[in-house]
Amino acid sequence: MGIVSTIVCKTAGIAGMSAVVYDAFSVGRASSSRISQQVTADHFERVHTSRRTLSTESPVSGAIQGKVADMRENNPIIPVYGKVKGFCKGALNSLGNNLLPVSFAALALTTKGFFSKLGAAGLAACGLLTVLKEGFGLGKQTPMD
């Protein structure tokens, strides 16, 4: 009986951890493009504002400022930075929201005996509560309330 419970607990831990990691990856990927667009827009706004204001009336300074502004506007690193920032923000936010299932899945995967069974039972309880709340609306407040 011991080997069967070990297999069940480890399988539950792998399934729980897989679901949490998939959720984190999906949320990170979705927020990646949104935050990249925000970072690019903010950068463009700063560059455009600084391009329109000169500290002197010198045409040489204006030409230099225009060339530097063109270089800053076409910087390929800004969208990449925005995508990385958005992915990390979304994935870590998702992992933070799923902290309880992550801890139960880690407990089921890394321990033996009673604590492994406790992790698998906690993971099953979290799954059941998620199905009841998200699937059946139990305890969930609707925007209409």
Task: Flag whether 57 is in a domain.
Answer: yes
The residue type found at 106 is: A
State the pLDDT at residue 66: 83
Q: What is the pLDDT of residues 28-77, one digit of tens each?
A: 999 998 999 999 999 889 888 877 777 777 888 888 888 888 888 888 89
Note down the domain range covering 44: 2-98
Beta-carbon contacts of 82 under 8 Å, excluding residues fewer than 6 positions away, are 35, 36, 37, 38, 39, 40
Averaged pLDDT, 23-29: 96
Task: Flag whether 133 is in a domain.
Answer: no
Reported confidence tier of residue 111, pLDDT bands at 50, 70, 90: very high
Averaged pLDDT, 90-110: 95
**Cβ-contact 26, 115 below 8 angstroms:** no
Element (H, E) at 5: helix 2-52
Report how many domains make up the chain: 1
Task: Flag whether 46 is in a domain.
Answer: yes
CA 145 to chain centre: 29
Task: Flag whether 67 is in a domain.
Answer: yes
